[in-house]
Structure 1
Amino acid sequence: MKRMILALCSLMLINSVQATEMAVVDFRAALLQSNIGQEAAKEPKQKVAQMEARLKQEQVALKEADEQLKREELTLAPDEFNKRRGDLVKKQNGIRQMAAKMQQQAKLLEKKLIEDLTPKGEAALKSIIDERKLDLVLNRQLSLYANSESDITNELVERINKDN
């Protein structure tokens, strides 16, 4: 009798558990890897490259000025040496600020790019969700483990490319 009740309870539990269709996606990566993402990223990449080139020029100029000051250290009056050293420190701080500003601008450019592409990505993701009848889609970075079959990032890239 106990076995029959246990078997009946087991059958009821098995029938009550519903399969949940789940997937993971790296939405940001899919947007940036898509054709429209690659095309839209060209201008921001050029701006970032220009900023990096300018920063590199400033760093080279600072290094040259520092090396020249080291060469002239013994021939300069202490006041002149300290003045030039102070100027170099100011330039160095300016370059640090420039680098921080550049990083901030690059992040803003990427954020705007993602915001502009998001509606198209969401539409493509919605169609995949409907086709696969997915109950749950998680951001890949938030999941501890997901097998490769549950990752739909590449499928999303293909869908975005197809739809746009």
Structure 2
Amino acid sequence: MKKILACFIAFCCVSIAQATEIAVVDFRAALLQSNIGQEAAKGPKQQVAQMDATLQQEQKALETSANELKRDELTLSQEEFQQRRQELAERQNRLRGMAANMQRQAKELEQELIESLTPTGEAALKSIIEERNLELVLNRQLSLYASAAADITDELVMRINKDN
């Protein structure tokens, strides 16, 4: 009797574990891949491209200055050479600061974009959860392994596109 009861309890536990519907989703990617995400990203992408173009111009100008300093090194006085080298180092530091600032601004623009799209994405995700009777949805980056069937990112993208 004890063995039968233990087997019954084990069977119930296995059945419960198998009945749990679990899915994974890359919510950020779904938002950015959706039609509204693509449309909303156009402005920030242009801003980042403009910042990148400015940064590249500054890098080229800095390289030109460095090459000129190498070329003129033997004709300059020690004092003038040191002064130009110091100016070059200061320009390099400003360029590094510009690059760091550009990266920070790009991240802020993306974060603002994600925040503006999140309510739409959450509504679409909620409808998928209800339709599929999901009991647990994990962020894909947090899971060690998930089969392709468990990943609902593409389904979320299609739902966002359909609803908007």
Instruction: Please say whether Structure 1 and Structure 2 have the same fold, judged by a TM-score greater than 0.5.
Output: yes
C-alpha distance in 1, partners of 2:54/2:163? Answer: 38
RMSD in angstroms over aligned alpha carbons? 1.0
Q: Which residue of 1 aligns with 2:11?
A: 14
| Residues 1:35 and 2:32 are matched in the alignment | no
Question: C-alpha separation between the residues in 2 aligned to 1:14 and 1:128?
Answer: 30
Q: Residues of 1 paired with 2:113 and 2:41: CA distance?
A: 7
* Unpaired stretches in structure 2, ≥5 consecutive residues: none
User: What is the rounded CA distance, in whole Å, between the counterparts of 1:96 and 1:26 in structure 2?
Assistant: 32
Question: How far apart are the structure 2 equivalents of 1:12 and 1:64?
Answer: 77
Aligned-pair identity (%): 65
The Cα shift of 1:37 comes to 0.3
Mapping of 1:81-96 within 5 angstroms?
81-96=81-96
1:1-164 equivalences under 5 Å are 4-16=1-13, 17-18=15-16, 19-164=19-164
For the residue of structure 1 that corresponds to 2:38, the secondary structure is helix
Q: Give deviations 1:106-163, integer Å, cap 9, x for gaps.
A: 0000000000000000000000000000000000000011000000000000000000
Q: Secondary structure at the match of 2:24?
A: strand
User: Matched residue pairs, number?
Assistant: 161
Give the Cα–Cα distance (whole angstroms) in 1 for the partners of residues 78 and 10 of structure 2: 87
4+ runs deviating over 6 angstroms: none
Q: CA deviation at 1:12?
A: 3.0
CA distance in 2, matches of 1:89, 1:138: 48
Q: CA deviation digits over 1:66-124, x for unaligned, max 9?
A: 10111111111111111100000000000000000000000000000000000000000
User: What residue identity is the alignment partner of 1:9?
Assistant: A
Render the CA deviation track for 1:34-59: whole Å, top value 9, x for unaligned. Answer: 00000000000000010010000000
1:7 shift after superposition: 2.5
Gap runs ≥5 in structure 1: none
